[in-house]
Structure 1
Amino acid sequence: MSLKSVVTGAKLCVVPLRQAAAARLSTSARHGVNYAPVPKPLQGKMKLFQIDNGLPVHIRGGPVDKMLYAVTAVVCTVGLIECFHVYYVLSYPQKKD
């Protein structure tokens, strides 16, 4: 078996693998996938959230988002306090008389 035949055999294996990898990476461009049009209300929301106005994403929706953020923070805080309460009760059980 000569070196030339080994190199030729390796090229026969490598080229199809490269072509297959390239096909997997760019399947949407090759097949021309057509997506559904984006509805107008959703386009407006997309524009709102992509504007660089210095606000974090979770409060860009206005007062409703601020209220939801506050409620979520309160619920998480109460849950964390309850977790520590359960750990305390399980660590120091009451003695039975």
Structure 2
Amino acid sequence: MYKSDGNPRTISSSARRQVDNMVKEKQKLFQANNGIPVHLKGGAKDAILYRLTMALTVFGSGFVVYELLNAAMPKKA
């Protein structure tokens, strides 16, 4: 869109946050040979996500088995 004077509008923000490059630090963290599995090296957040994923997997598997057994059994009229 153009203003009435013919100049194009520019979009700008008042402040931009500077982001530090953390790649080298993350590489050191994830490549360290400290006996921790790579999916848990991110800290507490990774541990919580891992446990939540495992809980949902176990619950989902149990629910599938329950539904399969429920579908396999004849309904009593």
Q: Which runs of 5+ in 1 are unaligned?
A: 1-38
Aligned residues: 58
Q: Report which structure shows greater RCO (CA 8 Å, sep ≥6).
A: 2
Residues 90 and 40 (structure 1), Cα distance of their counterparts in 2 relative to 1, 3 Å cut: same
Of 19, 22, 27, the residue aligned with 1:46 is 27
Q: Could you tell which deviates more after superposition, 56-65 or 40-49? A: 40-49
Matches within 5 A, 1:12-91: 40-91=21-72
1:43 to partner: Cα distance: 2.2
Distance of 1:47 and 1:57 partners within structure 2: 12
Distance of 2:42 and 2:71 partners within structure 1: 42
With structure 1 as the length reference, what TM-score do the two structures score?
0.55
Distance of 1:43 and 1:64 partners within structure 2: 20
1:41 to partner: Cα distance: 1.2
1:13-69 superposed Cα distances (whole Å, 9 cap, x missing partner): xxxxxxxxxxxxxxxxxxxxxxxxxx7212221211000011011111111111011
Q: Which aligned runs of 4 or more in structure 1 are off by greater than 2 angstroms?
A: none
Distance of 1:89 and 1:56 partners within structure 2: 38
Q: Which runs of 5+ in 2 are unaligned?
A: 1-19
